[in-house]
Structure 1
Amino acid sequence: METSRVYVYGIVHADRALPPELTGVGRPATAVRLLPVGDLAAAVSDVPDDLRPRRRDLMAHQDVLLRVGSVTPVLPMRFGMVADDAVTVARAVDRAAVGHHEALERIGGRTEMNVKAMPAQDHVESLVRGDAGLRRLLADVRNHPSYEGNVRLGEAVAGGLARRATAAVEDVLPELRALADAFVHGPEVPGCVLNASFLVPEGRSERFRAVVERFTAARSDHVELRLTGPLPCYSFVTPEPLPAGRTGDPTRAERAAVAG
């Protein structure tokens, strides 16, 4: 086995083939290959000398996982998973083989769809009309202008928009969850009232997208839904399937890259 450092993208069944001419991170892009470990295999490449959480490498990492996932289930690694050598990778994969098989079965034929919901900002007048407390506060600020009053009004409007968006999202969540095999809340995102990921069977992904688009059009005065996907099933592989070193601060950068 090779003794140089190894960059790890994900874990697949060993009897599956990678898409042809698959390349990953680095400039020039490194060739992706399979490292067999019994009836499993790790999709790996050489480690570029200048590996950093840059957008081009983050997107290259994600593209590898999406392309591999289009032909076979893959347990995705976060960006920057690096092992000292192939032996380290093989030992880690073998040690957790049972869990890897279970996870591959769980995500097989499925994809991750992420939905973020943000308050609609263009219909403040209707919000004020429907909220007696806001109307009183607005009248007070107009009659007695002050910095503190403006701050209170701004906070009250932001809170009202967020509550209205949250209530609207609750109307569509049951329909979205019914199309998914699993659902998890993600970390809080500034400005969002919802950040959630859905494990959606591939045969339902277009229906899922249609529901989001239809709801967004119908409730654009209350909430804006932003759908990202298909994505590698990061949110449904826990804990990280392969303990290894990491490079840089990938979590924040990955989120930025996905958001575009």
Structure 2
Amino acid sequence: MTGSGVYVYAILPAGADLPPGTAGVGSPPAALRPVREGKLTAVVSDAPVQLRARRRDLLAHQDILLRLSDDGPVLPMRFGAVAPDEESVRAQLAGSQTEHLATLRDLDGAVEINLKAFPAQDSLASVVAEEKNVRRLREAVRRRPDYEANVRLGEAVATALARRAGEAGKKLLHRLTPMARAVATGPEVHGCALNVSFLVDRSASDAFRATARTFADAHREHVELRVAGPLPCYSFVPSHGRRASVAGV
């Protein structure tokens, strides 16, 4: 072990195997090892002396989580989780065993899929055709173009685009929620009308993504949809994000 501590990737049920040939973070990549305590196992490696969010390390971290989740439930740690030593890891596992085991049961057989809804930027013709206020302001600019009139027109277009994306996002949320075990609202993203993650059965993830794509195609003049996943279930670990059951959405 190094003096930099122990890098923690994930927590698994006891007895889970580590994926063979998987390299951890650092240069050279650190070897993975299990730290076991009771009914839980933490997947760790030596922490690099200088840990930075390099692309290679970010990808390595996520790849490990995805490979681990192929074989069973995984409680993922965010990039950069470092403990002082293995003893402190064992102490954390022992102190939170009941909570961690409950979370692992919730995540068993599931993946996270994140959806972000942005205003459709190539839909000016549709906005003009459907928004009376935008049409009125555009005609005013044509009759008497000036700086203030153009500003008002630009603001009206931006407002309409954001509102239309938000309305489409709500429809999409209503459509997809019954297909998910749980839903979690993500942090605000600049320019994003909706940022939501879904906890979806792994076996249903392709159908879920297909439904989202079909909706996006049918509403392309209102919303640009970005779909990410399957992902590690970060948003459905209590300490990592606000959880919401499907029934509570």
Q: Same fold (TM over 0.5)?
A: yes
Q: TM-score, normalised by structure 2?
A: 0.92
Match of 1:131 in 2: 131
Equivalent position SS for 1:103: helix
Match of 2:213 in 1: 213
CA deviation vs aligned residue, 1:74-105 (integer Å, no higher than 9, x gap)? 11111101011111111011101100000000
Between the two proteins, the alignment pairs up a number of residues equal to 241
Q: Are 1:55 and 2:41 matched, yes or no?
A: no
Report the Cα distance in structure 2 between the residues aligned to 1:67 and 1:93, rounded to whole angstroms: 22
Report the Cα distance in structure 2 between the residues aligned to 1:52 and 1:149, rounded to whole angstroms: 48
Q: CA 1:61/1:212 → structure 2, altered by over 3 Å: closer, same or farther? A: same
- List aligned pairs for 1:1-260, cutoff 5 A: 5-240=5-240
Report the Cα distance in structure 2 between the residues aligned to 1:47 and 1:138, rounded to whole angstroms: 59
Stretch of structure 1 that moved more, 219-228 or 133-142: 133-142
Q: Is the 8 A contact 2:2 2:47 kept in 1?
A: no
Q: CA RMSD in A?
A: 1.7
Equivalent position SS for 1:24: coil
Q: Is the 8 A contact 1:137 1:153 kept in 2?
A: yes
Q: CA 1:113/1:120 → structure 2, altered by over 3 Å: closer, same or farther? A: same
Shift of 1:145: 2.5
Stretch of structure 1 that moved more, 195-204 or 210-219: 210-219
Report the Cα distance in structure 2 between the residues aligned to 1:163 and 1:169, rounded to whole angstroms: 10
Report the Cα distance in structure 2 between the residues aligned to 1:164 and 1:2, rounded to whole angstroms: 54
Stretch of structure 1 that moved more, 215-224 or 114-123: 215-224
CA deviation vs aligned residue, 1:194-251 (integer Å, no higher than 9, x gap)? 100000011110110110111122221211111100111100001159xxxxxxxxxx
The aligned amino acid for 1:97 is Q
Equivalent position SS for 2:192: coil
Greater relative contact order structure (CA < 8 Å, 6+ sep): 1
After TM superposition, which residue ranges in structure 1, 4 or more long, deviate above 3 angstroms? 1-4
Unaligned runs of 5+ in 1: 242-260
Shift of 1:143: 2.8
Report the Cα distance in structure 1 between the residues aligned to 2:28 and 2:144, rounded to whole angstroms: 64
Equivalent position SS for 1:78: coil
Shift of 1:149: 2.4
Report the Cα distance in structure 1 between the residues aligned to 2:214 and 2:234, rounded to whole angstroms: 26
Shift of 1:41: 0.8
Work out the percentage of aligned pairs sharing the same amino acid.
51
CA deviation vs aligned residue, 1:169-202 (integer Å, no higher than 9, x gap)? 2222222111100001101111211100000011
Q: Is the 8 A contact 2:2 2:46 kept in 1?
A: no
Match of 1:246 in 2: none
Q: Is the 8 A contact 2:9 2:44 kept in 1?
A: yes
Q: TM-score, normalised by structure 1?
A: 0.88
Report the Cα distance in structure 2 between the residues aligned to 1:137 and 1:4, rounded to whole angstroms: 62
Equivalent position SS for 1:155: helix
The aligned amino acid for 1:173 is L
